[in-house]
Every structure is written in structure tokens, then in C-alpha cells.
Amino acid sequence: MKRIGVFTSGGDAPGMNACIRAVVRAGIYYGLEVIGIGHGYQGMINGEFIPLQARSVSNILQRGGTILKTARSEEFMTKEGRAKAAKNLKEQGIEALVAIGGDGTFRGAIALYEEHGIPSVGIPATIDNDLYGTDYTIGYDTAVNTALESIDKIRDTADAHDRLFYVEVMGRTSGFIAVEAGIGGGAEYIAIPEEQTDYEEIKNVLKGFRKDKTSSIIIVAEGDEEGGAFKIARKVKELYGFDYRVVVLGHIQRGGSPSARDRILASKLGVAAVEALISGKFNVMVGEVKGEIKLTPLKETFRRRKELDPYLLKIAKILSI
């Protein structure tokens, strides 16, 4: 193999740049040419190909976002779009891809292989941490810390006013950010898509509020089956009369300089992805499980559900009394 492509796709995640750097430098170290592809799958269709050298990725390790840009491409969802992307990749002499992103990115990589024979190795990068086959995804640790910083600030004003706040964090189908930011921020209740929201329990934890607690914070994952923080807050008010404020943290969780953990994970997985490619291991995701590099078939990473740690769920309840 002589030439590989690297791209980021889907929602950006802090650490994507550190990962691009690792892929480029490992590729060059092992004698490959590395072509960066701008705007993910959309850039394959539009022909955004940028040859990258070791120095092209200088001074990006610590930056949020992605120098290659990212997109959620509608056109790539069509057979015609994928055919155009594959034709362009072949014209560029790109023999394999390193796909940095989440489940949507990996679905695209599988389609490119099944329809056009272009193989990929996936690297898990999404703040949601919702991929099977890796303990953590790139960007998750930074997102939790960003959410925590905000929760701490909200706690100050909640405490000053004796108020109840609902803080909505990201997590389209999973509660990973909510659970860790909730425990780290001392949440009174954490609403997540994996569990039915329990209004009786919310009532019980809020008993302490006003009596001997001066503030209460309920963390809601955006993908909660009840439909988000505003809906839960309104329902609790209807049921039990608690007045409230809602803060939706939104995309600030996706930005910012990556944490040490995210930079190191991104660096490890970037090198591991290139090593997987040169040893002929395709259509797998490189992940880290209990400190070891692990390869998981791309399909399994989103077909199998990564479970939340039951111990964390248990202590969140114990600590909220």
C-alpha cells in the first residue's frame, strides 16, 4: 500500500486534530503518502484532497475542532453520491481510508467497502462515547470536563438564589456525559435515555431542596425519552410545583482544547489505525479497552450497545440524598 486518505466526519470532537496529526505522522513514519480529505464524505464527492506532510500537522495537537473540517453529508447517503466519492478516491490513488468519527462515519465506511471495495479503519471520535469496542471515544473526556465547568458555575447561582436548575447535556442516544458530569457536579438526579425517568424519585430527592438543601441540579441527557430538560422541568412543576430554571449546554461541549486524556487517546489510536492498515486489517475500529488496543469490526461498534457502568448509576443515587 502506498497512499491512504484521512478524514473527519459527523459531529466534531475535541482531539480530532491530535488524531489527524497522529495518523499523518505515523503514515509518513511507515513510508505512506497521506492525503487529507476536507469536509468528510462531502469532500470526497467535491474533490477536496490535500496532500499532508509531517509539518502540515504542526501546532494542531492542542486545538479543538478539526483542521480537515467535517460535515454530515446528505449527498453521500445516496448511491450516486457514494459512487462519485469512490471514483474520486480511485482517481487520487487512495487505496484505504482512516475514518475519524462516530457511528454515521462508520456506516459510510462500510458502504464504501461493500459497494466499491475501498477499505477503511475507523477511529472512534464523538463526545457521546456511544461506540462499542472502546472504553472511551476521543472527545468524551473533554466534553465531560466542559460540562462540569458550567455545572459548577450554575451551582453558584443556584445556591445564591436557593434555586432548582435543570441542565441539559448532549447525548443523542446515550447518557455517558450526563452520568459522569452528574456525579462530578453533585447532581440531585440524572435523567438518561437508558432509564425511564422516575418522577417519584425526583419528588423524593427534591424533598431536601428548600428544607435543608439550598440548591438542586437535575442533569438531563438531550436524548432522554421524556424529550429533554424543558419537558421534564414543566412536568415536575405541574406535578409537584417546583419552580425552575433550565440551561441547555449545547455545542459548547463540542469545542475547546482537548484534555490530556483525549490528546493521548487520539495519539495512540491514530498510530494504531495506521499500523492496522499496513498489517492488512480492514473494516475494523481501533479502540482502547482496559489500556490495550483492541480491533472491533466496524459493524459491531454500533450494532452492539455499550452499557453504562452500573456502579456509577448506583453511586449517583446514593450521593444525591
Annotated binding site for substrate: 126-128, 163, 170-172, 222, 245, 251-254
120-124 and 284-289 beta bridge pairing = parallel
Question: Smallest gap, in angstroms, from Cβ of residue 78 to ligand F6P?
Answer: 19
DSSP H/E element including 285: strand 284-289
Distance CA 96, CA 115 (A): 14
Contacts with ligand F6P: how many residues (CB under 6 A)? 11
Distance CA 223, CA 310 (A): 19
Question: Smallest gap, in angstroms, from Cβ of residue 38 to ligand F6P?
Answer: 18
Question: Smallest gap, in angstroms, from Cβ of residue 186 to ligand F6P?
Answer: 23
11 binds ligand F6P, rule: CB under 6 A: yes
Smaller CB separation from ligand F6P, 12 or 119: 12
Site track for ligand F6P across 71-90, x = CB under 6 A: -x------------------
216-221 and 189-191 beta bridge pairing = parallel
Of 44, 57, 98, 127, which one interacts with ligand F6P (CB under 6 A)? 127
Q: Which of 137, 104, 118, 83 is nearest to 286 (CA)?
A: 137
Site track for ligand F6P across 230-269, x = CB under 6 A: ------------------------x---------------
- Mention every residue, 6+ apart, whose C-beta is less than 8 A from residue 293: 268, 269, 272, 286, 287
Known binding-site residues for ATP equal: 11, 72-73, 102-105
128 binds ligand F6P, rule: CB under 6 A: yes
Cα 23 from chain centroid (whole Å): 19
Please identify, among the stretches 15-23, 60-68, 166-174, 179-187, the one whose residues bind ligand F6P according to the rule CB under 6 A: 166-174
CB 23 within 8 Å of CB 32: no
Smaller CB separation from ligand F6P, 222 or 288: 222
What are the counts of helices (DSSP H) followed by strands (DSSP E) for the chain? 11, 11
Of 15, 36, 171, 287, which one interacts with ligand F6P (CB under 6 A)? 171
102 binds ligand F6P, rule: CB under 6 A: yes
The residues annotated as belonging to the active site are: 128
CB 209 within 8 Å of CB 243: no
Known binding-site residues for Mg(2+) equal: 103
CA distances from 148 to 89, 131, 143 (A): 41, 22, 8
Q: How many CB atoms lie within 10 A of CB 270?
A: 27
Question: Smallest gap, in angstroms, from Cβ of residue 175 to ligand F6P?
Answer: 11
Q: List helix spans (H) across 123-175.
A: 140-161
Question: Smallest gap, in angstroms, from Cβ of residue 142 to ligand F6P?
Answer: 12
Please identify, among the stretches 14-22, 37-45, 121-129, 231-239, the one whose residues bind ligand F6P according to the rule CB under 6 A: 121-129
Q: Which residue has the cell 491514530?
A: 270
Amino acid sitting at position 51: P
Please give the residue ranges that form the binding site for ligand F6P (CB under 6 A): 11, 72, 102, 126-128, 170-172, 222, 254
